[in-house]
Amino acid sequence: MKGLDEYLVPYVISQIVALAVLLAAAWHIRLARLLIAVIFLYAGCYNLYIGFVKPNVYLGFADLALSWYADFIKGWFSRYNHIIIPLIAVGQLFIGVGITLSGKWVKWACIGAIVFLISIAPLMVGSAFPFSIPVSVAAWLIYRRKSNHLLWHNKQRRKLAEV
């Protein structure tokens, strides 16, 4: 993959994080929700800053992407990146907050995460591919679970209070 030698350390770290998120989704759903929230909140804040301060940085990812995705980045995206990147960042922030909430908010956040992660996969090394695949599977596992509690809500404490 193009660019792997240049981004090897963050690439490997991303793969470890993706595996941790997937394992958490299989065994400890609250931890998986927390990890996804942190990932998306961080990415949203970072992309909001970059989107307003230096959006052209993302045009460099075209060199790492699949050819048809590179054409999109160098074409339409390059003309509107100062608008698109902050909008993507806001979406990431919504996903990060939504996954910490309950009920339909978690479901919508999971759908948003899956759509976003699949849509960045063609960036290849630029999106730490295959990072997006296991994290999408984790979001799907979270989606399938009943999420009636806020992430920070302690179910055990609530049961004790009801007694």
Write down the pTM of the prediction: 0.90
Average the pLDDT over 26-49 and give the result.
Answer: 97
As to burial, measured by CB atoms within 10 angstroms (0-12 exposed, 13-18 middle, 19+ buried), residue 106 is buried
In which domain, by residue range, is 81 found?
Answer: 8-162
Q: Is residue 3 in a domain?
A: no
| Residue 1 located in a structural domain | no
On whether the CB atoms of residues 142 and 33 are closer than 8 A, the answer is: yes
User: In this structure, are residues 101 and 150 in contact, taking their beta carbons and an 8 Å threshold?
Assistant: yes
> Looking at the domain assignment, is residue 2 inside a domain?
no
> What's the total number of domains in the chain?
1
pLDDT tens digits, 106-158: 999 999 999 999 999 999 999 999 999 999 999 999 999 987 788 887 665 55
Query: Which pLDDT score is estimated for 159?
Result: 52
Give mean pLDDT, residues 13-35: 97
Residue by residue, DSSP assigns 87-137 as HHHHHHHHHHHHTTS-THHHHHHHHHHHHHHHHHGGGGGGGTTTTHHHHHH
Q: Which of 2-11, 36-45, 154-163 has the lowest mean pLDDT?
A: 154-163
Which amino acid, residue 22?
L
What is the mean pLDDT of the segment spanning 21-40?
A: 97
Q: Is residue 69 part of a domain?
A: yes
Is pLDDT above 80 for 98?
yes
Does residue 163 have a pLDDT over 70? no
Q: How confident is the model at residue 13 (pLDDT cuts 50, 70, 90)?
A: very high
| C-alpha to C-alpha distance for 97 and 72, rounded to whole angstroms | 29
